[in-house]
Chain A
Amino acid sequence: MNLDFTQEQDEIRDGIRKLLRGIADDALLIGLQGKETGYLPAIWGGLSEGGWHGVVIPEEFGGFGLGLGDSCVVFEEYGAGPLPHLYFTCAGVSPYFLMEAGTDAQKQRLLPSLADGTMRVTVAAAEVEASWTGAPVKTRLEEHDGRLLLSGEKMYVPDALGATHALVTAKTASGGTALVMVDLAAAGCARELLRSFSCWETRLAFDGVEVSADDVIGGIGADAAPAIARAISRAIPGLAAYQVGSSQSAYTLALEHSRTRIQFGQPVGRFQRVQDHIVELINHLDSARWLTYETIWQIEQDKAGSQTAIHTLKALVADSHWEACNASHEVHAGIGADMQYGLAKHTHLSHTLFHFLGSPSWHRDRVAVTLGW
């Protein structure tokens, strides 16, 4: 047993932390709130220079090819700011969709562009009447006069206004699921920012958007559903690490506030009511943190129960990130609710990610199923 990070992981953490301090400091991230998109060329370009968009992409496709545990060290740092979830989605979710569903030729063609940051690819799965993990999507990919046309509407898409492309799930005439790479600048494609208690969730509408056979990931006729399920499972540990990083920041802010905020003539952290909030906060944080680390290890070791662990993790982290932010707000009161303070961006993220890659209740059901209940 050894629960320390490797020296290489410590170096990776130092590297990304130093970079983010320079290109995405707290003031900048606070300023991004309320903007149309979380995409900022200065941040994106800085990450591109270091090759950080390609941490999970294998070297043969132009990425770093980091192991799971190493890449999660990076995503934990993404969460500390937090970097908007477009950055995480592009680096930690979309690549898995392509790696799982794509043909060799598609991987050769597309993954290097994800790795070097030329393409910013978000993922569009949920709809008004379909969840992230549900099958009955209404968006359709159909052939008309030899042209492939995409029609329908996607909801809760991570920051489509900041992305160049989206991987879109659609039904085909055969009833199978297709995964389509859509250029968001294409004719017939509309994007809209949704106003919500979350951040940069968008609606995408496709009005007969023409795509090529090459854009259909895995090829025409292939049912992408199993590959999508695998991709979601592969992306969950990174998502959890991203949320752990954000929860850690919510904790650090609360702890510091408990020491510096004076009321009734003493630091508010001397009051047990306030202490209790921070105790609950760190309990949520540590639940997520250690389950994340152990799940990563289980996957790396190919343990028999790792699929159950993945579903358990997603359900737990969705809750714990949310509750960690809530507890931090209780400690801060009005100060934390001020959009200029820096806590709200974590709170918004915790709400945004709650249903991302499948709702907690769906994942809890999968826990029961995989345990054979």
Chain B
Amino acid sequence: MDFEIRYTADQANFRKEVAAWLGDNCPPEVINSEWIHTPPAIYERQRELGRKLGAKGWLYPVAPTEYGGGGLDTDSARVIIEELGKLGLNLPPYYDSGGVLGSMAILVWGTEEQKQKFLPPIYKGEVRTWQLLTEPSAGSDLAGVSTSAVRDGDEYVITGQKIYIGSDNGAEGFWTIARTGDPKDRHKNLSWFWIGKGTPGLSWQPMRLLGDQDKNTVFLDDVRVPAIALVGGENNGWKVASTHLELEHGFRTDIGSTLNEHKTLDRLIKHCQETVIDGERLIDRPGIRDQLVRLHTHAEVARVWGMRNFWMASQRKQSYEGSQSSYASKTHRMAMTRLIAELAGPAGMMRNGPAPAAEGELALVAEGAIGSSHGGGTVDIQRVVMSRRLGIGRAEGQSGAKLA
């Protein structure tokens, strides 16, 4: 086995090229900027960087060139991700779950005409998309959505309500799943639609969630979309959604996200090294050291699983591992929250005042942990996915959704 990603001379040169290009093109105010709560002025600069990356094919580097992607190999894509990471940025440099996840579903299920129409604007960074999936009465049971889409001539008319959507600063394109068939035909009564920018009848209201997250409630009132907006055929939407959710549940071809556990932990360790309470460094207390090492161990597992998942995804061999990692990181964040309170004391939950632990960073992580344990599928849903893939109580494990 070899756990090291080894770059060729060409890729090393490519890294230099990417770094130099970012040096020339990345607006300074975007570096280390927030992914959520992004002030509009900063957000505009993030989008500007996105369009520039898109023009080079670096926004969606492994996507096919015929639809505006970069057509690069996964190693080169990782070079871009790593170089952006050095600037504190993700790829894309703004929140675009609908683009990342939704574009895969189009690649798998779209017609040639749909790929030509929908993919280039995403890959070029011209539209940012939200995924309109969860509803007030359909959360974990996504197949139970009640938003309806009714055929009317060459159009579909979509009506319903979606919740916990996107982030701030809006979006220009939307994926949604709606019911087109008999309510009794579970999993065979859904269809997947694209809703373009400015379509009448679509509106949203910001909602505040625990952990200071910005999400939205989206209303669809007789939203008319052309027939070409139906992806994957009528009543075939569950399969399209499954491709989408395969990525949502942790199938990843990058390993960057797995370093987050260590990032917060390192911050907590630093805090415990620098903070003296009752005349003693926090980290010198045996009980605290022991708990920090336990978390370090969890973070190491998350890191190694991230590499495993990356390897398996690149070999198209991944089955339950994505959900396993997702489950682990969600529960790990909750454990981390508990430990922040335990170790950093009340200062760990402060965002201001004379002595917020780690300048308030720990409080932000702690606040976000509960919300992120639900987003993209609850902890329990990850367990359900794992159970099915492993074939617990079944003759054999289920295979993953279709991917391009």
Contacts and interface: CB of A to CB of B under 8 A. Distances in A.
Nearest to A278: B392
Interface of A: 1-5, 69, 255, 258-259, 266-272, 274-276, 278-279, 282-283, 286-287, 290-291, 293-294, 296-298, 301, 309, 312, 315-316, 361, 364-365, 367-368, 371, 373
B304 A291 contact: yes
Contact of A278 (B300, B305, B328, B387): B387
A293 B1 contact: yes
B297 A316 contact: yes
A274 B383 CA distance: 11
Interface string B279-321: 0000100100110111011001100110110111000000011
A1 B4 contact: yes
A372 to B, nearest CB: 10
A267 B393 CA distance: 5
A68 B289 CA distance: 31
Contacts of B269: 373
B289 to A, nearest CB: 5
Given A258-B393, A373-B283, A272 B384 contact: yes
9 contacts: A259-B395, A279-B387, A290-B301, A294-B307, A298-B3, A312-B293, A312-B297, A373-B269, A373-B292
Contacts of B393: 258-259, 266-271, 274-275
Nearest to B301: A287
Contacts of A278: 387, 390, 392
A295 B324 CA distance: 21
Nearest to A266: B393
B391 A283 contact: no
A258 B392 contact: yes
B3 A1 contact: yes
A370 B166 CA distance: 43
The 6 A-B residue pairs with the shortest CB-CB distance, nearest first, are A269-B393, A275-B387, A270-B393, A364-B293, A269-B392, A267-B393
Given A2-B311, A69-B1, 15 more contacts: A1-B311, A259-B391, A259-B395, A267-B394, A269-B392, A274-B392, A279-B390, A297-B1, A297-B2, A315-B293, A316-B300, A316-B301, A365-B286, A365-B293, A373-B289
Nearest to B392: A269
Nearest to B289: A368
A368 B386 CA distance: 33
A364 B289 CA distance: 8
Given A259-B391, A291-B300, A373 B305 contact: no
Contacts, number: 126
A5 B310 CA distance: 17
B6 interface: yes
B289 A365 contact: yes
A365 B390 CA distance: 36
A1 B6 contact: yes
Contact of A5 (B1, B6, B305, B387): B1
A276 B392 CA distance: 10
A318 B328 CA distance: 19
B296 A312 contact: yes
A266 B297 CA distance: 38
A316 B3 CA distance: 20
Interface in B365-404: 380, 383-384, 386-387, 390-395
A181 B78 CA distance: 54
B383 A294 contact: no
A5 to B, nearest CB: 7
A3 B306 CA distance: 12
A5 B2 CA distance: 9
B123 interface: no
Contacts of A309: 300
A309 B292 CA distance: 15
Contact of A301 (B4, B300, B304, B328): B4
A282 B386 CA distance: 10
Contacts of B293: 312, 315, 364-365, 367-368
Interface string B1-40: 1111110000000000000000000000000000000000
A6 to B, nearest CB: 8
A293 B393 CA distance: 29
Given A255-B391, A275-B387, A373-B273, A3 B308 contact: yes
